[in-house]
Amino acid sequence: MTTSTIAGRVFERLLDDLKSNQFGPGERLKFEEMRGRYDVGVAPLREALSRLAGLGLVTQVGQKGFRAPEASLKDYEHIIASRKFLEKRALESAIANGGDSWENELVAMFHQLQKATRIKPRTEQEYSVWERHHTNFHRALVAACGSAWLLNAWRSAFDQAERYRRLAMKRGHWAIDQKDDHERLLRAAIARDSKVALRILDDHIGRSAINLG
């Protein structure tokens, strides 16, 4: 889904690069470098960075430019807790409200995730592909929650968590689909077993927090 504006495209690329930690925590994002890297002018760059600043994925200080956000264990714990909190609530609603199309999308996304999981990703790019499927599956889970605002907030927490997860991965921690969590989540969701689904999700998200410790 390529956007029609340059600013939109560079936004997407920046989002990817931030989530995959192409820029270290706190690193300054200089315009001349970025201009070369993405081959765009300053105007769309600043727009993309401003939008990311609104999302909390870069920080901006007046007259001092943009930076990749700092990273700390405390911050990570808070983000994990928030994601857990939001995703559980959204999942509960989705299980209550979801219809046939929700189920269909869910099994489709699970299928793609499973295909991607079979081959252990080796390069950063391969891992990006896996993360996309992983995100798609979790989004499909909560998509039917009915609240656009909740979905946005969840997505924000999920993106920030992904950044930390991949920081951990760079240090050798692998956390790909432990204990068949995703398959169990799928089954419980389709069976409309809210209690079981929430418990699995809680463990699933909680476990990812340990990997950075």
Residues of this chain that interact with its own copies (CB under 8 A) are 3-5, 7-8, 43, 46-48, 50-56, 62-63, 75, 78-79, 81-82, 85, 89, 146-150, 152-153, 156-157, 160
Alpha carbons within 13 angstroms on the beta-carbon side of residue 167 total 22
Which CB sits closer to its own copies, 51 or 184? 51
- Find out whether 35 and 49 touch, Cβ atoms under 8 Å: no
Spell out the residues 6+ positions from residue 133 whose beta carbon is closer than 8 angstroms to its own: 109, 112, 113, 115, 116, 117
Amino acid, single-letter form, for residue 210: I
**Beta carbon of residue 149, minimum distance to DNA (angstroms, whole number):** 23
**Beta carbon of residue 36, minimum distance to its own copies (angstroms, whole number):** 21
Q: Give the three-class secondary structure for 29.
A: strand
List the single partner that 147 binds among its own copies, DNA, none, CB under 5 to 8 Å by kind: its own copies
Q: Give the three-class secondary structure for 64.
A: coil
Which CB sits closer to DNA, 47 or 203? 47
List the single partner that 100 binds among its own copies, DNA, none, CB under 5 to 8 Å by kind: none
List the single partner that 199 binds among its own copies, DNA, none, CB under 5 to 8 Å by kind: none
List the single partner that 149 binds among its own copies, DNA, none, CB under 5 to 8 Å by kind: its own copies
Query: Which residues would be at the binding site for DNA (CB under 7 A)?
Result: 4-8, 28-32, 40-44, 46-47, 60-66
Cα distance between residue 159 and residue 31, in whole Å: 24
Task: Determine the distance from the C-alpha atom of residue 102 to the mean position of all C-alpha atoms in its chain, rounded to a whole number.
Answer: 20
List the single partner that 56 binds among its own copies, DNA, none, CB under 5 to 8 Å by kind: its own copies
**Beta carbon of residue 162, minimum distance to DNA (angstroms, whole number):** 25
Cα distance between residue 33 and residue 66, in whole Å: 12
- Find out whether 170 and 124 touch, Cβ atoms under 8 Å: no
Which CB sits closer to its own copies, 150 or 196? 150
